[in-house]
Each structure stands twice: as structure tokens, then as C-alpha cells.
Chain A
Amino acid sequence: MSVDNGPLIIGFLCNWCSYAGADMAGTSRAAYPANIRIIRVPCSGRVDPLLIVKCFEEGADAVLVAGCHPGDCHYNEGNYYSRRRFALLRALLDFMGIEKERFQVEWVSASEGKRFAKIVTKFTEEMIERGSRKAS
């Protein structure tokens, strides 16, 4: 982990909407804190809840999953599955001793670059306030 100051956030972004939305944030130079590391996945429905648990187990401070808005999924219905799976996972996180606020699911379209920057900025600030998981 080489985020010297502040929390490490792992972002899983679907290729068609949110990854493109993050690209759009870049194209429109919408700045956000450098704490997030983005992993590209084809669909938010490709993200295994167990992988997110693994992220936390290994010491990540926060995880963001972003996909297409409901109804806009490139694969028609992938984000409906992720929506349900992650609702369940959030409920389980507290049980596992991980604050559920550290896990966020967002819908970001390919044109919402500025919104993506806003989401990441807000999420990072919240995580800074919450502090590192190792310290807590």
C-alpha cells in the first residue's frame, strides 16, 4: 500500500458506464483525491461479494463499486444482480465487524464525469474522517 497519507480506496468500475464516466472525469479535468485505485470490470455484476470481503480482509480502507444506472446496463440486467447482491453484503459487513459505510455502491453513467469526481471526493473525505481501519 503506497498511499502515504489517508485511506486506500479500491474502486471496481464497470467498463461501459462508470469506467467511461471516470474517463470523462479525466477528459473534463474534474479533480478528485488520489486515494482511489480503479480496477476495470466488464459489469458491476462481475464483482464477487467475496472479493470485496477479501479487499477488507487484506486491509483496504474502503471499496467503491460503480455500475450503469438501473435500466441502462450494457448487458441488460447485470446491475440488477449487483444491486441485490450488494444490498445483502452491506447488511453482512456490520456483522463481520466492518463498518458498512466503508462500502459504497453507486450508479455512474458514461457522461457523469463531474458526478464521479464528486462521489469520489465525498467518499474519500468521509473515509479520512473515519480514519484508517488499521488504526481503529
Chain B
Amino acid sequence: MSRIGVFVCHCGTNIGGVVNVPEVVEAARHMPLVAYADANKYTCSEVGQASIRDAIREQRLDRVVIASCSPRMHENTFRRTVAAAGLNPYLLEISNIREHCSWVHSDSKDATAKAIDLVRMAVAKVARHESLLPKQVGLTKRALIIGGGITGIQAALDIASAGHEVVLVEKEPSIGGRMSQLDKTFPTLDCSACILTPKMVDVAQHPNITLLTYSEVKEVRGFVGNFEVDILKKAKMVDYVKCTGCGTCWQACPERIPSEFDMGLGSRPAIYIPFAQAVPNKPVIDIANCRYEKYLKWKETEEGPEPPQCRICEGVCPTEAIDRSQKDEIITEKFGAVVVTTGFKTFDHSVYGEYGGGRYPDVISSLELERLMSAAGPTGGEVLRPSDGSHPKNVVFIQCVGSRDDKVGRPYCSKVCCMYTAKHAIMLREHDHEVQCYVFYIDVRAGGKDFEEFARRAQDETGALYLRGRVSQIYQEGKNLKVLGEDSLIGRPVEIEADLVVLATGMEPSDNADLIAQKLNISYNTYNFLIEAHPKLRPVETQTDGIFVAGTCVGPRDIPDCVAHGGAAAAKVVALLSQDSLTTDPLTSIVDPMKCVGCFACKEVCPFNAIDEQVTRDKRTIASINESLCKGCGLCVVACRPGAVNLRGFTSQQLLSEVLTLVRG
């Protein structure tokens, strides 16, 4: 027989002012299995908690109901209280007679009757509570970072410096990400490469970091502290132990392919490093474009004309590092935590028919301009028109291309475009004093340290003409482009003859961000940006424990925000990996092995892959719950046909007893 104690809180006048607390206490004394009932002025105060502890000891109570505020408020406080008196912390039930009763009902009689009902339901439920012990599981003190842009680099360095092993996976041949494509950064006009490349080198040289470039995450299994990840290492065809990165091969390769790094404005060979400061500074062979690889592929079928055999790189390599025997390889590694930093790509402006839909060579995206301005870019830092290689003098910038535009399904602000356009206006003037810039904008959003001053500088010092309004059409007229727009501040149409038009393309998540999210069992929104556990209070956590997100894969951000975000994710990972074992919440599902028929309807509905198959001694295959993965949602309980699955803390019997107690009275 249970001895249940009921403690009703006055909460000053918050409860006591409406609910007749002595009447509730008196009613509780006569409820089944209740051995003791009392009231407190403030139960959560130290005095109130002490009175509960004393009563548990003196009255030999083995279960406790506290009728007070919402369990979302003080459940953990009171669990500690009963635990301090020697009771199992899960033998407690809270009856919410404040938020759900005294605060929303003014009639004392009704509120008191309802409070008595709520207490009676809690008594019925607590009688069916069981002692539960949180489980301890071990963890692997290693972190996986997916994506080697500035956010991933920062997270990797911070975690590694705290003494934990890190594996950084990057799908491109080099780390560095989008930041490595930029020429300068706002608002300081720091050279992007100059501040980024030392960090890239730090990653390569850090004893705790393993760098896996040209690799992708294929499959993720397991749970917080114990993830098992399959990583695809694409064949590089170059032996990185022998290769010295001397560059002889990529200078000798006769093939030319549009360079992804230069946004197609320049070209690269088939054996290549994406850019001069690449880390690792060793090449990969692009199998799809290598002449000899094409020949080998032809040889399998011998269809069509025989392509030339090349193998020049093999001939010139002084260390015989070219290794054509390499194959794609999948390795499996264990991790305790995962950080997703897959970054962004720029919006494809070809959907804007009014801007030429990608037909005019002199209508370029801002990232293309960035490559044209870079000293390491295809033009050596000279800004030349793609069409004829001349120096543009009249440059029109159009803001919010793929941002703040419902028409193309991108209603959000990409946050960085106003600032990088100001940067471009200032830089273009530095490149060529005769350049006149025109900026069509909706608003200039310059919220950030020194941002507004910088945006002002573009207008005041460099004479860039800011026109508030949209551009309605761009068309080619002779060698130049005609830009038709509106200056909505003076309410007149504007017509500008431009040599070059730069579209401030917005940010969207990298390709396959949704597929990675699915592999990791984390959520993403309609634009494929990943969703954090709480947008304000848990900005780098996700709903899946042990998986963290940072940088522009979560939403548009600038570089300082990404660095801070990467550091924040690293701090969370370090806090996790610093523990020697992890405590799991015991409020999970359980399977009755005698009732389970092995239909696995539960497995189909489980959102967390927490249900495993298990073979019993009498050779039946039944379900078993992985308690580290189970989050206690209870979907499986309802799905279970024979009623073999139950949810601790919210068992079917408990919910039923609450209903019966209430209705039968």
C-alpha cells in the first residue's frame, strides 16, 4: 500500500486568493492512498521544501503530489526536493492549480472544485508511478564537422584546442569555403584570403584535427555520444604522401575546364587545386574531365572515336605521386558529436527574366564581381567586362535579387548584400577613379558594428548614387546595357546606360542541405535552412541531441557572426565531450517482451529510429527500445496493436486512471 503525501501551495494569494486551499487539503485527506496532506504558503521556498522533506521522513511517505504552479516551472526543483528526502525523484506528480486554475478562473467555488479534481487525478497517477533510474552511457570523445568553410574551421580549431579529436569533412578539394572566394571583407576592407588562410593552415597543422577533403558524409547511425558515420572519400588519384604540391602537373595538364572557384569566369586544368592557397595544397584529378580517364572509360566499350591518351601529369611528376589505382572508398568512424556547417550558395538569378535571365554576359552576380576584383582571380584583379574585356565606367548594382522577393519564393532578407554592395562601390572606385556606381535598393540595412558608417562612406565619399526603387527591365543596346528603373523617392522613372550590371544575389543553403539534414534526423525549413532547437535560447543546438548547427546553413549571416556561431557550437560540443558519461532521461518507452508480436508498427512511426529488433531466447524477433535514442514521445505506444509498448511516466494505465478518477469521481 502506498502512502501518498499531498502538498497544496497557496503561492501567496496567486492560488490561495481564488482556490479555497484548506478545502482542497481536507478533500485530499480523504482520497484513496493519501496518508498525509498539508498546505504551504510558498512551496518552492526553502521553508516549503523543508516541510516536504520532513513530512516524507516523519510520515514515511513513498509518493508525493504537489499542487502548485505548472510542472514546466518547478518539476525539476521538486524532484530534487523529494530526492533529498530519500525518495526516488520520479515518484512525484505535480498538479497544476495555478496556471490552469486559479489564474484563469475567478469563481472561487468552481476553481476549488476544479483544483480538487486536478489533485485527485494527480493522486491516481502518482500511485502508478515507478522508481526510475537514469542510465549512464559512455561516449566517444571525438567530433565530426561537416563543411570546411569559415564556420567549420572555427569550430574545428576551438574543439581541437580544447583537447578533443576532430575530423573535418569537406566535399571540395580544399577547405576555405565561400570566404576564400571573396576579395575583401566589409566593413574593414581586410583582404579575405589574408585573414582566412592562416586559419586554414592552422587546421592542417593541428595535431588534433584530421582533414578529409574531397569527402562526403554518406550515412549516420547511433545517438548522442555514440554516432557511427560512413564517410565517402572520393578517389583523388594522387598519393598525398608522395605529392609535394610542387605544381608541375597542373601547369602541364593540357585540359581546360571552367573553374568553379572563379564562378566559371576563368578556367582550370583537370588535375588541379581550386586556388593558390588551397589547403591541402595538393591536387586532385577531376575524373570526369581527365583525358586519360576518358580514354580508359572509352576502352571499356570501344564505342565512338578513340580519344587521345594523355598521361602528361604522370610523366612530369617528379615524385611519381599520380596513383590511378585509387578507388572511391567508404570509411566508418565513431563520434560523440556532430557539427553541421554546410554553408550557402548564391541565388541563381536566371529566374529573373527582366534582368536578362542570364543571357547578357555583362549582367553578373556579386560573387562573380568578387572574383573579377580579386588579385588571384581570372583577370588578375583588373575589373574587365566579360563580354569584351573593356573597363566598365558606369556600373549599376541591383539589390535584393533572390531576397525579400515573394515572387521567386525568397521572402527573407539575406542580410549581407547591402553591405557587400557598399564594399563593391568603394572598391570599384579604388580600382578606377572614373567609375560611377548606381545602386537600386529597397532599404539599406546596415545594422552592425561600423556598418552604417561604411554604407554612408559608399554614398558620400565614392559618389555612388543610391536610387530607391526596383529595376523593371534590362536590355542590350549596342555594346551596353539599358537599365530601366524607378526612383521611388522622387517618383520618376530612371534610365541608365550601363557597362556592367551587378546583381546582389541572396543566400540560399548549399545543395543537398536537406539530404544531410535527413541523414542526421534534424529539421529544415521550406528554404532548406536547418532549424535550431530554439531560435533565441538554443541557437546552435538541434532537436537531436549531439547534433549542432552553425553558420549560414542555419540562416543568412556575415563572417563575424559565422565565426561566433562556429565558436558557440564548439563550446557546446566541448561541454558534451568533457563528460565521462552521459545521463539519459528515463522517461522512455518500454516493451513488454511477452506481449510483443514483432509486427514493428512501432518502428515505422518512431521519429528517432529508437526501436531495434531483438531475438529472444525462444527465437522470437521482438522490438526493443534504444533508451539513449528514445525521446519519450509515445507515438509507438499508440501504434502498438497488442499493447506491448508503454511510456514511462505517461503509461496507458496512468492516463486511464486520470480519466476514470475524474469521470467516476
Contact = CB atoms under 8 A, between A and B. Distances in A.
Among B100, B103, B110, B113, find the residue whose CB has the most chain A CB atoms closer than 10 A.
Answer: B100
Contacts of B635: 43, 45-46, 75, 78, 81
A18 to B, nearest CB: 12
B104 A26 contact: yes
Given A31-B104, A40-B71, A85 B638 contact: yes
B117 A78 contact: no
A2 B116 contact: yes
A41 B100 contact: no
Interface in A41-99: 41-43, 45-49, 51, 54-55, 58-60, 74-78, 81, 85
Nearest to B116: A2
Interface string B97-116: 01111011111001101101
Given A3-B113, A51-B655, A58-B660, A27 B638 contact: no
Interface in A1-45: 1-4, 8, 10, 15, 19-20, 22-23, 25-27, 29-34, 37-43, 45
A81 B638 contact: yes
A29 B113 CA distance: 19
B663 interface: yes
Given A45-B635, A55-B659, A75-B631, A37 B117 contact: yes
A131 to B, nearest CB: 17
A51 B99 contact: no
A23 B70 contact: yes
Interface residues of A, number: 46
Given A23-B100, A31-B104, A39-B659, A46 B665 contact: no
A117 interface: yes
B117 A46 contact: no
Given A46-B634, A51-B652, A60-B663, A38 B100 contact: yes
Contact of B121 (A20, A37, A60): A37
B346 interface: no
B72 interface: yes
B633 A42 contact: yes
Contacts of A77: 607
Given A23-B72, A51-B659, A58-B663, A42 B100 contact: no
Given A29-B103, A75-B607, A1 B663 contact: yes
B662 A54 contact: no
B99 A45 contact: no
Among B117, B662, B664, find the residue whose CB has the most chain A CB atoms closer than 10 A.
Answer: B662
B637 interface: yes
B543 A74 contact: yes
A25 to B, nearest CB: 6
B523 interface: yes
Contact of A2 (B70, B117, B632): B117
Contacts of A29: 103-104
Given A26-B70, A39-B658, A47 B663 contact: no
Nearest to B120: A2
B576 interface: no
Among A3, A20, A48, A60, find the residue whose CB has the most chain B CB atoms closer than 10 A.
Answer: A48
Contact of A42 (B103, B118, B634): B634
A59 B99 contact: no
A26 B100 CA distance: 6
Among B100, B104, B639, find the residue whose CB has the most chain A CB atoms closer than 10 A.
Answer: B104
B577 interface: no
Contacts of A47: 638
Contacts of B107: 34
B72 A19 contact: yes
A77 B116 CA distance: 35
Contacts of A30: 104
Nearest to A60: B663
B37 interface: no
Contacts of B117: 2, 37
Interface in A78-126: 78, 81, 85, 117
A56 B1 CA distance: 31
B72 to A, nearest CB: 6
B656 interface: yes
A4 B113 contact: yes
B650 interface: yes
A8 B96 contact: no
Contacts of B543: 74-76
B663 A46 contact: no
Contact of B656 (A25, A26, A51): A51
B495 to A, nearest CB: 45
Nearest to B608: A75
A8 B99 contact: no
Given A51-B659, A81-B605, 17 more contacts: A2-B117, A10-B659, A22-B100, A23-B99, A25-B104, A26-B98, A26-B103, A37-B662, A39-B658, A41-B655, A45-B634, A45-B638, A49-B638, A59-B663, A60-B659, A76-B607, A78-B635
Closest 5 CB pairs of A and B: A26-B99, A46-B634, A26-B103, A75-B633, A34-B110
Interface of A: 1-4, 8, 10, 15, 19-20, 22-23, 25-27, 29-34, 37-43, 45-49, 51, 54-55, 58-60, 74-78, 81, 85, 117
21 contacts: A1-B664, A3-B113, A10-B663, A23-B72, A26-B100, A31-B104, A31-B106, A38-B118, A40-B96, A41-B634, A42-B633, A42-B650, A43-B634, A46-B634, A46-B637, A48-B637, A54-B656, A55-B663, A75-B608, A78-B607, A117-B104
